[in-house]
Amino acid sequence: MSRKLNITVMLGGPSAEREVSLRTGAAVAQALRSLGHEVQELDPRTPDWSLRAGTEVVFLALHGTYGEDGTVQKQLEQLGVAYTGCDAESSRIAFDKVLTKLRCIKAGVPTAKFIVAKSAQAPLPENLTLPLVVKPSRQGSSVGLQFVEQAEAWPAALAEALKFDSEVLVEEKITGRETTVGILNGKPLPVVEVRPKTGSYDYNHKYTAGATEYFCPADFDAATTTRIQGAALEAFRAVGARDYARVDVMVRPDGSPVVLEVNTLPGMTETSLLPKAATAAGLTYGELCQQMIDLAMARHEKFKREKTAEPIGGAAI
């Protein structure tokens, strides 16, 4: 039985995903309270926030810019407080879709062919085959996501995506089944398949009840499941992630996986994909939250022990 802790749940924040984060944070706080922890909620909407005295660990329930791009992680590291999820550097890399793609390519992780566009006047890329997916490099929850089926749609799609960032990722649209793989404590959870009832899995389909069907574990044969989970775990490692994340993977008709992106602070509402995968693995929502806290605390305690063991004046000779 884990000991009772003084936990601050950070939720909301200043990003475009604020509303989703508030829902994630409320669900997490309720679960942690039900486990007997002392929980307070903190909304860092402005930069002058401060942690309540006695906070032992921060549960990050933030999404999008500030919460997921390494900024708040860096601040918490400076405060010397334990926090859940990836560190500042891996958060920064994973939040940037272009950096993630480059890491995946270097590590040999399968990913879609792409280019980067930084101007609304950029021409339709000649080396990519339609249809294309256009998305801001540094946003989440499908914010600014555009699809280009015909060449005439390119200028408007590019201009729309550039409203959300100074550069956009343009990649070939992969035809196949859409899946996501949760990683918890370095191990892949059961594969979740996502099937929007109409259109694509955009922001509205993610957060509108009944708009999307979910299947977990997804109905793939054992060999394909292993390939999907393996690609997700390789991507998780390629960006330097730790503790937990969720990796989005397209699966071509031949069963080959193509990694789309790594989400270091995935949604944690009761209907979010990571909790669905954890449930399929036999974990309740509360147990999932507790594991996230346990991983953060274990790392923090280890860091403190190592710090205490360091000899004064530098390394021992």
User: What is the C-alpha to C-alpha distance for residues 157 and 69, in angstroms, rounded to an integer?
Assistant: 24
Residue 133: which of 114, 160, 118 has the closest Cα?
114
Integer angstrom CA distances of residue 304 from 81, 297, 311: 11, 10, 14
User: What is the C-alpha to C-alpha distance for residues 317 and 299, in angstroms, rounded to an integer?
Assistant: 27
In the chain, the amino acid numbered 181 is V
248 is an active site residue: yes
Where do the H-state alpha helices sit in the chain? 18-34, 71-79, 88-95, 97-107, 154-161, 203-207, 222-238, 273-280, 285-309
User: What is the C-alpha to C-alpha distance for residues 267 and 20, in angstroms, rounded to an integer?
Assistant: 8
Structure tokens belonging to residue 43 = 């909304």
267 is an active site residue: yes
The one catalytic residue in 66, 69, 248, 285 is 248
Residue 232: which of 179, 195, 297, 311 has the closest Cα?
179
User: What is the C-alpha to C-alpha distance for residues 317 and 315, in angstroms, rounded to an integer?
Assistant: 6
Phi, psi of 57 (to 5 degrees): -155, 145
Eight-state DSSP code of residue 111 = B
141 is an active site residue: yes
SS3 string, 253-292, reads CCCCEEEEEEECCCCCCCCCHHHHHHHHCCCCHHHHHHHH
The one catalytic residue in 18, 87, 246, 285 is 246
The one catalytic residue in 103, 182, 261, 272 is 261
33 is an active site residue: no
The one catalytic residue in 90, 91, 137, 141 is 141
The one catalytic residue in 207, 227, 242, 285 is 207
What does 29-59 look like in DSSP terms, one character per residue?
HHHHHHTT-EEEEE--SSTT--PPTT--EEE
25 is an active site residue: no
The one catalytic residue in 12, 13, 17, 137 is 17
263 is an active site residue: yes
246 is an active site residue: yes
> Active-site positions?
17, 141, 207, 246, 248, 261, 263, 267
